[in-house]
Amino acid sequence: MPDAPPLDLGGDVGALTAALVDVESVSGDEKTLADAVEAALRPLPHLTVVRDGEAVVARTELGRAERVVIAGHIDTVPLAGNLPSRAEGDLLYGCGTSDMKSGVAVALKLAAGVPAPVRDVTYVFYDCEEVEAVRNGLGRLARTRPELLAGDFAVLMEPTSGEIEGGCQGTLRAQVVVRGRRSHSARSWYGVNAVHGAEAVLARLNAYQAREPVVDGLAYHEGLNAVGITGGVAGNVIPDECVVTVNHRFAPDRSMEEAQQHVREVFEGYEVRFTDGSPGARPGLTHPVASAFVAAIGGTPRAKLGWTDVSLFSSLGVPAVNYGPGDPNLAHQQGEYVSLEMVAGCERRMTAWLSAPVA
């Protein structure tokens, strides 16, 4: 892929968003955009810039009493005929406009336009968020360069429609195994049909009452749902095994171990195999830096009903929130778009937060 045009960090944030969108950066193919981001940040004298694979980290070193981390991923899901970007009135259409190149544009504008923030700032632009966790660039930094992610508070610029979303839910997937006994389907009474037996598992799911706990003042809504079912070996064989795959979304007042134990209890009597999972993160809004952020941004924080990389910051002991200009309901859609006024408003509020005197 040819080099991207230079990024103009001194211009309009909407134009910068369009420029970022027009650089294709599907997960695993972020080098061109990472090069452009690095080239735009390295000349800025107030920043120390570190390149790690296709992640770019830029830090102020002003000796402030507090440090905040502002992070965003530069990759997108695969294209769907939605490049280049196009503007229609206040709306900018294109792959990644909402998730989350508009948030990246805001962070880049802050990195260039607030050279003397009241708190030291670490800006993190990372790769491979939209794919499996083992490839996640933020996770790689946490494993190999955790000092680069150290801070008192973090803002992950995931799309939230310009509202603060605290913490995130945890998620796990498990296989609930129903056993049977094989037989010829012409003499089915000699067997035990495991697929038919899955009815009892589905009945437990249909009867399940999800918790709606309040955690640090924010209301979460859990869920336990079947997301897949497999069974059967041939068209003339009564199946001796059926596997129901379930996904549990749990509030951050439960650890991964507690959530797994809960799933075991729901499906008592069945073999339960856990296949993957990621813990949640508490909102962390009681920290003074977080309180100042909420005061500067305004609005009423709400719970993040989903999983994001704030979980990773939480595991490092850094309280974090989600805040970005995109609409999360438009993420990954062919017709994805972002409101340019919302992007500009996000930049204004973030600038005010980084510039306001520390109480």
Mean pLDDT, residues 6-19 taken together: 97
What's the pLDDT tens digit per position in 38-54?
Answer: 999 999 999 999 999 99
Task: Please state at what angle helix 340-355 crosses helix 102-113, rounded to 10 degrees.
Answer: 40
Which residue type sits at 33?
A: L
Mean pLDDT, residues 158-171 taken together: 95
- Dist CA 351 CA 353 (whole Å): 5
CATH numbers and ranges of domains, the chain: 13-168+281-355 (3.40.630.10), 170-278 (3.30.70.360)
Q: Is the pLDDT of residue 219 over 70?
A: yes
Q: In Å, what is the CA distance from 252 to each residue of 15, 86, 138, 300?
A: 38, 39, 20, 19
What confidence category does residue 1 fall into, taking pLDDT thresholds of 50, 70 and 90? low
- Dist CA 327 CA 339 (whole Å): 9
Mean pLDDT of the chain: 95
- Residues with a known catalytic role: 75, 129
> Is 278 or 272 the better-scoring residue by pLDDT?
272
